[in-house]
Amino acid sequence: MVRGVCPGSFDPVTHGHLEVISRAAALVDELIVAVGHNMAKNALFAPEERVELLEQATHAWPHVSVALFDGLLVDFCQARQVQVICKGLRGGDFDYELPMAQMNHRIGGVETIFLPTHTQWSFVSSSLVREIATLGGDVSKFVPGYVATRISSRLLKRSHEQPGTIRDL
Ligand code: PNS
């Protein structure tokens, strides 16, 4: 029985994430998509909303579940008996991901496997999706339809709460 985890911020989940999740799910008996908080990033969605969007996106895969985590990823792995961390790798990600994988192995004994992202999505990131959407661009090619709708309503709400901070969509 191999249990894996796909950790990330998923703010918001993209087609690139889902492609990596589907391939990771094919490698393990159970996969947990773990929504963490990246302290370096400005969040668009609350962690609970990201979980909800991911649950919609993964509901067709019975052995995939979604969970929130805070604290160390290795502690989450130990608590959930996860043996392997599965991470998508785009060009440029390696220098950021390698030390994390090495550190997670050193402090928690957890292995990491890297899945090269499909070329179709290798340029897609949540941060670019957030930026494009915030500046009024169309992100519907890069995220599931209900995620695009949720982004639009979130930004519209923000523009009413903080007029002048973003363009109306
Ligand atoms: O999608 P992201 O932003 O690359 O996700 C990063 C995340 C949340 C997976 C990463 O920041 C993480 O693992 N955070 C948990 C805290 C932790 O374990 N830090 C030590 C890493 S060696």
> Of ligand 1's atoms, which has the minimum distance to the CA of residue 104?
22
Q: What is the reported pTM?
A: 0.93
Give the whole-angstrom CA distance, residue 88 versus residue 5.
Answer: 12
C-beta atoms surrounding 5 within 10 Å: 26
The answer, yes or no, to whether residue 41 has pLDDT greater than 70, is: no
Q: If you take atom 18 of ligand 1, which residue's CA is the nearest one?
A: 72
pLDDT digit string (tens) for 91-113? Answer: 999 999 999 999 999 999 999 99
Strands (E), 18-160: 30-35, 64-68, 84-89, 111-116
Whose structure tokens read 């930026």? 131
Whose structure tokens read 């997670």? 104
> Of ligand 1's atoms, which has the minimum distance to the CA of residue 40?
3
- The three-class DSSP label of residue 8 is strand
Give the whole-angstrom CA distance, residue 46 versus residue 30.
Answer: 25
- The three-class DSSP label of residue 135 is coil
Q: Please list, residue by residue across 32-47, b when 16 or more beta carbons sit within 10 angstroms of its beta carbon and e when fewer do.
A: bbbbbeeeeeeebbeb
Catalytic residue positions?
17, 41, 90, 126
Q: State the average pLDDT for the chain.
A: 93
Query: Which of 50, 47, 45 is closest to 157 using CA atoms?
Result: 45
pLDDT of residue 160: 84
pLDDT of residue 22: 97
> Which residues' Cβ are closer than 6 Å to ligand 1?
7-9, 36, 38, 72-73, 100, 103-104
